[in-house]
């Protein structure tokens, strides 16, 4: 009898791809014809595995649930799987136009199983409201689905292990806009080492989405002076979407 483990792993991988609506796999880099970049966007050479589904699955909620179930059993990062209370998959509208990507769950998120529910999350919620949205309208996830011990920065291997799940969520939701909050999200999604300060106020493309990068809400908690540039970035996003921020009572 052959060992069962490799087969199970392969089936799980296929299940998670299927859940993500993946119907074809991008050929190795260099063998494909690259799509022309969107005007005034900085094109980003996608890493080998984002597999861009031609169409989202009919039932996005079901596809997300199926992928979340696969993620909940993930042990690719031995240390994270051992130390997490639970995985933190993502939350929000499966039909969201806008996807937010943060870094990784912290202690509060690890406890509650939802991204951005701690202090940074409360600030993020205020930014969402200032833009005229409700939290439930958008989709929020992270580069990692497990809390790194002591909230250390995600390791490159961890981000790589979790990438298939992030790309799965992007494939299912097919957001028109992605906001990367902080340098971890921006650098990992776009495969660059450019600083967040140099990436903000510019448009990138990833999968079918236009991508904007800005400072992380945790950074704003430590550096309130950065709130103005983040608001400028949100205004750029709203303008691109043909929206205006609401006048809020002060
Ligand atoms: N910081 C993040 O980047 N993500 C969370 O979910 C919480 C805090
Ligand atoms: N450095 C980061 O990693 N993120 C920020 O948002 C700002 C500085």
In a domain, 39, yes or no: no
DSSP 71-112: HHT--SSHHHHHH-SS----EE-TT-SEEEEES---HHHHHH
Residue 198 has pLDDT above 90, yes or no: yes
Is residue 229 in contact with ligand 2, taking CB distance under 6 Å? no
Is residue 199 in contact with ligand 2, taking CB distance under 6 Å? no
Contact present, 165 and 141 (Cβ < 8 Å): no
In a domain, 216, yes or no: yes
What range defines the domain where residue 67 resides? 57-241
How far, in Å, from the CA of 219 to the mean position of ligand 2? 6
pLDDT of residue 184: 98
How far, in Å, from the CA of 25 to the mean position of ligand 1? 30
The predicted model scores a pTM of: 0.82
In a domain, 27, yes or no: no
Nearest CA to ligand 2 atom 6: 215
**What count of other Cβ atoms lies within 10 Å of the Cβ of residue 241?**
14
Q: What is the pLDDT of residues 102-143, one digit of tens each?
A: 999 999 999 999 999 999 999 999 999 999 999 999 999 999
* Helices and strands in the chain, H and E counts: 10, 6
In a domain, 158, yes or no: yes
| Three-state SS annotation for 123-155 | HHHHHHHHCCCCHHHCEEEECCCCCCHHHCCCC
Q: What is the DSSP letter of 247?
A: P
pLDDT bracket for residue 248 (50, 70, 90): confident
Cα–Cα dist 232/230, whole Å:
5
In a domain, 70, yes or no: yes
H/E stretch holding 65 reads helix 60-72
Contact present, 153 and 186 (Cβ < 8 Å): no
Q: What is the pLDDT of residues 220-244, one digit of tens each?
A: 999 999 999 999 999 999 999 999 9
Number of domains in the chain: 1
Question: Which residues have C-beta within 8 Å of that of residue 131, sequence separation ≥ 6?
Answer: 234, 237, 238, 243, 245
Rounded to the nearest integer, the mean pLDDT of the chain is 86
pLDDT bracket for residue 219 (50, 70, 90): very high
CATH code for position 151:
3.40.470.10
In a domain, 51, yes or no: no
Q: How far is CA 16 from CA 98, 119, 145, 175, 244, in A?
A: 23, 32, 14, 19, 38
In a domain, 85, yes or no: yes
In a domain, 249, yes or no: no
Q: What is the pLDDT of residues 35-83, one digit of tens each?
A: 444 435 554 544 444 445 558 899 999 999 999 999 999 999 999 999 9
């Amino acid at each position: 009898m052959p060992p069962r483990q490799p087969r199970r792993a392969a089936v799980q991988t296929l299940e998670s791809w299927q859940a993500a609506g993946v119907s074809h796999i991008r050929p190795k880099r260099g063998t494909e014809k690259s799509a022309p970049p969107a005007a005034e966007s900085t094109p980003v050479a996608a890493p080998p595995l984002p597999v861009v589904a031609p169409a989202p699955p009919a039932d996005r909620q079901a596809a997300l649930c199926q992928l979340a179930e696969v993620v909940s059993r993930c042990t690719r990062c031995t240390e994270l799987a051992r130390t997490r209370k639970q995985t933190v998959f993502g939350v929000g509208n499966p039909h969201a136009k806008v996807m937010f990507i943060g870094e990784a769950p912290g202690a509060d998120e690890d406890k509650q199983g939802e991204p951005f529910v701690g202090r940074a999350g409360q600030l993020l919620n205020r930014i969402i409201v200032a833009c005229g949205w409700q939290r439930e309208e958008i989709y929020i996830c992270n580069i990692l689905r497990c809390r790194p011990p002591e909230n250390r920065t995600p390791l490159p291997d961890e981000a790589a292990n979790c990438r298939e799940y992030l790309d799965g969520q992007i494939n299912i939701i097919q957001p028109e806009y992605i906001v990367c909050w902080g340098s971890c999200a921006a650098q990992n999604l776009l495969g660059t080492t450019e600083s967040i300060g140099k990436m903000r106020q510019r448009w990138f493309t990833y999968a079918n989405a236009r991508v904007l990068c800005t400072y992380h809400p945790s950074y704003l908690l430590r550096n309130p002076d950065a709130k103005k540039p983040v608001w400028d970035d949100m205004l750029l996003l709203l303008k691109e979407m043909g929206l205006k921020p609401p006048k809020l009572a002060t």
